[in-house]
Chains A and B, each alone.
Chain A
Amino acid sequence: MSVLVDDDTRVVVQGITGGEGKFHAGQMIEYGTNVVAGAVPGKGGQEVHGVPVYDTVDQAAREEDADASVVFVPPAFAADAIFEALDSPVDLAVAITEGIPTQDMARVNKRLSEVDTRLIGPNCPGIITPGEAKLGILPGNIFESGNVGLVSRSGTLTYQVVSNLTERGIGQTTAIGIGGDPIIGTDFVDALRLFEDDSDTDAIVMCGEIGGEDEEEAAAFIDDYVDTPVAGFIAGRTAPPGKRMGHAGAIVSGSGTGTAQSKIDALNDAGVPVGDTPEEVADHIESFL
């Protein structure tokens, strides 16, 4: 089983005629994802990978019964594409786009509070339920179906930790990349709640990084609400204060909050062991199962 997506999920790809959208829609289909439509303004009536393209997400959702959307739209137009998804019949929007202006995301965030649609991302690798569906750019071949849920702020770090698990034969229910931007849709707490409520998820990996206080909030939530065992990893222990390291999220102010240590302490206090290496995270998960 899984959370949020499975082989019944009917996916519309926004931006399917662009370079990235076309390539990854192909990869998603190859993985077995049920991609039922594309949505690109002005491109209605075309086909990509045998999938019909519509001018609007509404049309695509209505005609093809789509219930999830993946957004591969360039940053300047991405917020509008997310709004379109949020206001359409789909229940889930996954925004892969990197570099959306923060003020646009603040407006999206406000809209999210008014609708029932869930957003994952932006600036994220997407979500995958191994063997069933992937919505995004994650390399499908490193995943294996199993009983560990994974939530992470970083793309390639997710792949690393997943491969450490898969190599020991530990599969995953679902892996969610929540994205590294300052303002995101689904956060650690949301993802942890989904995994806690999923009867097939027996353990959870949570990969955080320096910056912000989301990991600290997640630790408090785990303490209060989560019975499923959780193992953590925090990237950026050796990052010097005040230096930006790639992600918008991956910078530490040095004022005490947002540091790797404050996150590790908070997680440890909530009973969550934090691995020093991805291999140690896999050790903890193995010990839970």
Chain B
Amino acid sequence: MPQATDGFDTTNSGSAKHPFELTMKLHEYQAKQVFADAGIPTPPSTLADNVDDAVAAAEEIGYPVAIKAQVQVGGRGKAGGIKLVDDADEAREAADAILGMDLKGIHVDRVLVEGAVDFVNELYVGVTMDRGEGKPVAMVSTRGGVNIEEVAEEDPDAIVREHVDPSFGMHPYQARRAVYEAGVERDVANDVASVLQTLYTLWDDRDGADAEINPLMVTSDREVIAADAVMNIDEDALFRQPELAEMEEDAAGGDDLEAKADEYGFDYVRLDGNVGIIGNGAGLVMTTLDLVDHYGGKPANFLDIGGGAKAERVTNALDMVFSDENVDSVVFNIFGGITRGDEVARGINEALEGFDEIPKPVVVRLAGTNWEEGMEILNEDLVTVEKTLEDAVQRAVANADEVDQ
């Protein structure tokens, strides 16, 4: 009998395809629970955090079972995070191997033990927001079980798309139309349409960004069953999804600095260069990165302190960048709209006056609201001040070059 190993390779691929919303990703076991509660058939499964529990769960479910690492990285199966086992010895061996392993840098501390599905077909169903159209779109394909992004690229017609009026919701005929257009076999078409309808309702009720089942398996006795589950939630909507907000968020392979940024509430991305960058507003901070590159430097990070930052936030931002051992020089670029130059200047002074020796040279450029007051406040024994963005970036790049030599 064909086994489900291919299908298991499609862990939470949703974010790679639809990257434009800020989303909270549910773990597979959480998404499966949400789907099952809504009435979508899923295989019997149990979450385990130790080998004995995993084996006991396997015995209870009955073999064959799949032991699946609960981490949010793509290609779990290929990386050894999913194993199919036929008896207790194999289950013990697999659970022992997977629990505690590092999967693409993420520690595995839980596995889902799940009854393997004897399938004859693998379908794909999904719901997401079509950004270009500004409308939800439901999708069906008979080419599930593989990397659906590749299908989308190589053979776009193999995925049927049905746009939905978000004010009304999905009409039942739309689910049927998508399923028949996709060429799903007639005897399971109603069941697949019903899964799609439920998936849309879930996506809608739960403020989904993406909801996907890949594969949706058709078994030899003509049942449909969700062998994987992806549910990503719009972070901006978590305030009205308290149940989901409580579900544990993935520690997502971020390094210590990224964890620190979370603590401080910064938008932060670590890069591999040596010029530390702090600014306000995503577009302007990205532009500062681009200019560092343009003038021959290498950006060490993206750090957006956001709008209206007070002195403490500024101090925290400097602490972040100083904590990065790769950073040789720092450029601080603020164009104040709601952010005030005097507040920023006070924060910079406070942060730097605490040091006997400034850890890395800091170039500051202030513009916009209260920039003149800010310039007066800045302690020029501690920082270099430049008037334009271009000059500030060039100076910071030169500073980094000097340290580098």
* B-binding residues in A (CB < 8 A): 75-76, 99-107, 109-111, 125, 137-139, 142, 152-160, 163, 180, 182-183, 207, 209-213, 233, 235-240, 242-253, 255, 276-279
Contact = CB atoms under 8 A, between A and B. Distances in A.
Given A107-B166, A182-B20, A182-B129, A101 B282 contact: no
Given A253-B16, A278-B287, A137 B338 contact: yes
Contact of A245 (B129, B166, B285): B285
A139 B20 CA distance: 28
B289 to A, nearest CB: 5
Contact of A235 (B21, B290, B390): B290
B368 A159 contact: yes
Given A106-B135, A246-B267, A159 B390 contact: no
9 contacts: A99-B236, A109-B134, A139-B337, A159-B367, A209-B286, A236-B286, A238-B299, A244-B19, A248-B21
A42 B302 CA distance: 42
A156 B236 contact: no
Nearest to B294: A276
A125 B337 contact: yes
Contacts of A278: 287, 389-390
Interface string B223-266: 00000000000101101100000000000000000000000000
Interface centre among B135, B240, B287 (most CB of A within 10 A): B287
B283 A157 contact: yes
A249 B335 CA distance: 20
Contacts of B358: none
Interface string B23-37: 000000000000000
A110 B239 contact: no
Nearest to B166: A106
B122 interface: no
B369 interface: yes
Contact of A237 (B136, B207, B281, B290): B290
B171 interface: no
B271 interface: yes
Nearest to B209: A102
Nearest to B241: A101
B293 interface: yes
Interface of B: 16-17, 19-22, 129, 131-132, 134-136, 149, 153, 165-167, 204, 207, 209, 234, 236-237, 239-240, 267, 269, 271, 279-287, 289-294, 299, 302, 304, 307, 335-338, 367-369, 388-390
Contacts of B368: 139, 142, 156, 159, 163
A27 B136 CA distance: 38
Q: Is the interface of B mostly helix, strand, loop or mixed?
A: mixed
Contact of A183 (B131, B153, B209, B285): B131
A274 to B, nearest CB: 11
Of all A-B residue pairs in the complex, the 7 with the closest CB atoms, nearest first, are: A154-B283, A246-B282, A156-B281, A157-B283, A101-B237, A156-B284, A109-B134
Contacts of B279: 156
Contacts of B209: 102
Q: Is the interface of A mostly helix, strand, loop or mixed?
A: loop
B135 A109 contact: yes
A213 B131 CA distance: 9
Nearest to B152: A255
Given A111-B167, A156-B281, A163-B368, 8 more contacts: A107-B166, A109-B134, A110-B167, A156-B280, A236-B289, A236-B290, A244-B269, A245-B285
A22 to B, nearest CB: 13
A250 B283 contact: yes
A222 to B, nearest CB: 18
B166 A163 contact: no
B134 A103 contact: no
B245 to A, nearest CB: 13
Contacts of B336: 139
Contacts of A154: 281-284
B21 A246 contact: no
B151 to A, nearest CB: 13
A76 B240 contact: yes
A248 B389 contact: no
B30 to A, nearest CB: 20
A204 B286 CA distance: 22
A115 to B, nearest CB: 13
Nearest to A209: B283
Nearest to A114: B167
B236 A245 contact: no
B337 A110 contact: no
Contacts of A245: 267, 269, 282, 285-286, 302, 304
